[in-house]
Structure 1
Amino acid sequence: MIDILVAGGGPAGLATAVHAALAGMEAVVVEPRAAPVDKACGEGIMPSGAQALRALGIAVTGHELRGIRYRDGGRTAEARFRERPGPGLGVRRTALHTALHRRALELGVRIVPGKVDVDGVRQGDDRVTAAGFTARWLIAADGLHSPLRRGLGLDVPVRAPRRYGLRRHYRIEPWSDFVEVHWSRHGEAYVTPLGDGLVGVAVLSRDRRPYEEHLTAFPQLAPMLRGRGAGLVRGAGPLRRRARSPLAGRVLLVGDAAGYVDALTGEGIALALATAGAAVGCLAAGDPRAYPARWAGLTRRHRLLTEALLYAARRPATARLIVPAACRVPSAFRAAVHVLQ
């Protein structure tokens, strides 16, 4: 019987397997897609996430990120990350996945093709069976639209306005070491420097329309990108997801499967790494019941700040005040960025 069966081989699932191997536990990852896996992602990793990758022995190349910059028309507000834990990282999703996949294999993790069928999950007093394996624990790292979360009856209906994300790469030299967030009344555009001659631009909005139409809402940005597109537009959403609990018997939910507010504050990868480590830590300590509280503590600041920004952004009267307020009270903007880093 193996220790941990991981459903999903994205960043959260692979990080779970790496944590398990480093803790002396046997882990198997079940993933239907061939590596490397690409998906719609802002591709910015906050400093805590970059630090977590280093702690796992994962080396990944990208563009160092020094802070966050908000832009709206002629107004600009920016906040640098603190010196510790260091800079963030702008990195292609495929490069991140390759590095995590390689590290897992180095540590002896088995990665097998296939997926965990919800109807095939059986829990007992001391084991769980799924996908032809018997394990002491099952980690659900199967993403935003987690079939396991739904199958376990953990999905909570979401009534807030639905938001969607679209991302495309552009062949242009990064002009900043900051993640730039361009605001408009239709949504936000995130510009992440990824390396020599490449940036990623992700658009978040409630409006479902073609990517190029979204860019017209950002007159400072759109002319710079015209004719420089590289690769396909990738999409994701609806973004908001809730789970009743990140623990159901012998199944623990990590990453987006455990719940997701929005990509607005850019912490998805950092939280995936943190919750993966917390889940394995609780299992290694023989205290799985501690995981929901650990999960809540790790994600609380992110959830509160993201909810507050979303509340302001979806109301025209307050949305247009976000960047001016950040300009007028730079200390508050810096404090918010430091909370998230």
Structure 2
Amino acid sequence: MKDVLIIGGGPAGLAAALHARRAGLDVTVLEPRGAPIDKACGEGLMPGGVAALHRLGVRPPGMPFRGIRYLDGRDRAGRRACATADFPDGSGLGLRRLALHGALHQAVVDAGAELGAARVHDVQQDGEYVQAAGVRARYLIAADGLHSPVRRALGLERAARGRRRWGIRAHHAIAPWSEYVEVYWGEHGEAYVTPVAPDCVGVAFLGSGREPFAERLAAFPALRERLAGAVAGPVLAAGPLHQRVSRPVAGRVLLIGDAAGYVDALTGEGLSLGFRCAEAAVEAIARDAPEQYVAEHRRITRRYRLLTVALVRATVPAPSRRAIVPLATRAPWLFRAAVAQLAR
């Protein structure tokens, strides 16, 4: 019998596998897709997430960025208002999702964890063990993503409330023009530009609509002008983003990453939170105290939930959205304080 069975081989699941191996636990990771795995995401890792990766000995290639820049997406190049804030300590890292996943996957292989290919939709457990896909373990960590089948099978899913949002992303073959992740605020959504390589930027859109990538880009004149002539890569989409859970633990099953609930990608903290929750879940398992993770998960995600929910709700009305960049420009101390929170 295994010590830990991890369902889902994305970044959070692989980080959990590395922490488990460091704790001397026997681990199996089940993931139906072959490595490396791509995903529609902004590809910006906050300083806290970079530090978490380095503690695991994982250093994927990427482009450091100094902080966050907000711009008015309605304006054309040369006339746009903007607000800029540096991280107080350390740098973020823009990197292709494929590079991140490949580095984590290799680290897990080197650590001696067992990797298997299976899609899990059902879990059985009692007071001593949990079983899925023919593998029996003392504990199971579900890291199977935004629409987690394990979460659904255990009855932990709750109906999401409020506006549903989706994300869509593509890469453009152009040299990064900024040392910052740029966030363009538009009438109905945001555009995120992240430097991910010396000759490439990732462009992601968030919003309540599900329009094609080209139609989203047309709503941001300054960004469209900047990217004119740059070859765009394949488009990936994800959503709806808001996912709610009743609790992150059910018996011997612990949920981490997007499987444990998700508010929105607006603040760019998903990966950092996933790494921290992976470590906390393994610590609870090592102590044979899974309920300990409930309080830890609440503590780790509390600021993210409060900040993100407040920001998403506050920017639903069009006047509020139009006020975001002017407010950040007039109150730079407030913008710097918010970015400092994101850097953790």
Fold conserved (TM > 0.5)?
Answer: yes
Q: Decide which of 193, 196, 213 is 1:194's aligned counterpart.
A: 196
- Contact kept, 8 Å, 1:172 with 1:228, in 2: the verdict is yes
Instruction: Return the alpha-carbon distance in structure 1 between the equivalents of residues 25 and 229 of structure 2.
Output: 50
How much is the aligned-residue C-alpha RMSD, in angstroms?
0.9
Percent identity of the aligned residues? Answer: 54
SS at structure 2 position matched to 1:194: strand
SS at structure 2 position matched to 1:230: coil
2:120 counterpart of 1:116: yes
Instruction: Return the alpha-carbon distance in structure 1 between the equivalents of residues 141 and 21 of structure 2.
Output: 14
2:24 counterpart of 1:18: no
- Contact kept, 8 Å, 1:301 with 1:340, in 2: the verdict is no
Q: What stretches of structure 1 move > 3 A for 4+ residues in a row?
A: none
Instruction: Return the alpha-carbon distance in structure 2 between the equivalents of residues 4 and 214 of structure 1.
Output: 42
2:90 counterpart of 1:90: no
2:32 counterpart of 1:32: yes
TM-score, normalisation: structure 2: 0.97
Q: Decide which of 252, 257, 263 is 1:250's aligned counterpart.
A: 252
Instruction: Return the alpha-carbon distance in structure 2 between the equivalents of residues 203 and 52 of structure 1.
Output: 26
2:8 counterpart of 1:8: yes
Aligned residues: 337
SS at structure 1 position matched to 2:17: helix
| Structure 1 partner of 2:83 | 77
SS at structure 2 position matched to 1:288: coil
1:223-279 Cα deviation digits (max 9, x unpaired): 121331332110000000010000001100000000000000001111111110110
Q: Decide which of 123, 137, 140 is 1:138's aligned counterpart.
A: 140
**Aligned AA for 1:38?**
D
SS at structure 2 position matched to 1:70: strand
- Contact kept, 8 Å, 1:312 with 1:322, in 2: the verdict is no
- 1:26 Cα deviation (Å)? 0.8
Q: Decide which of 270, 273, 276 is 1:271's aligned counterpart.
A: 273
Instruction: Return the alpha-carbon distance in structure 1 between the equivalents of residues 39 and 60 of structure 2.
Output: 18
TM-score, normalisation: structure 1: 0.97
Instruction: Return the alpha-carbon distance in structure 2 between the equivalents of residues 151 and 287 of structure 1.
Output: 22
Instruction: Return the alpha-carbon distance in structure 1 between the equivalents of residues 253 and 289 of structure 2.
Output: 13
Unmatched runs of 5 consecutive residues or more in structure 2 = none
Q: Decide which of 101, 106, 113 is 2:105's aligned counterpart.
A: 101
| Structure 1 partner of 2:41 | 41
**Aligned AA for 1:50?**
V
Correspondence 1:313-332 to 2 at 5 A: 313-332=315-334
SS at structure 2 position matched to 1:21: helix
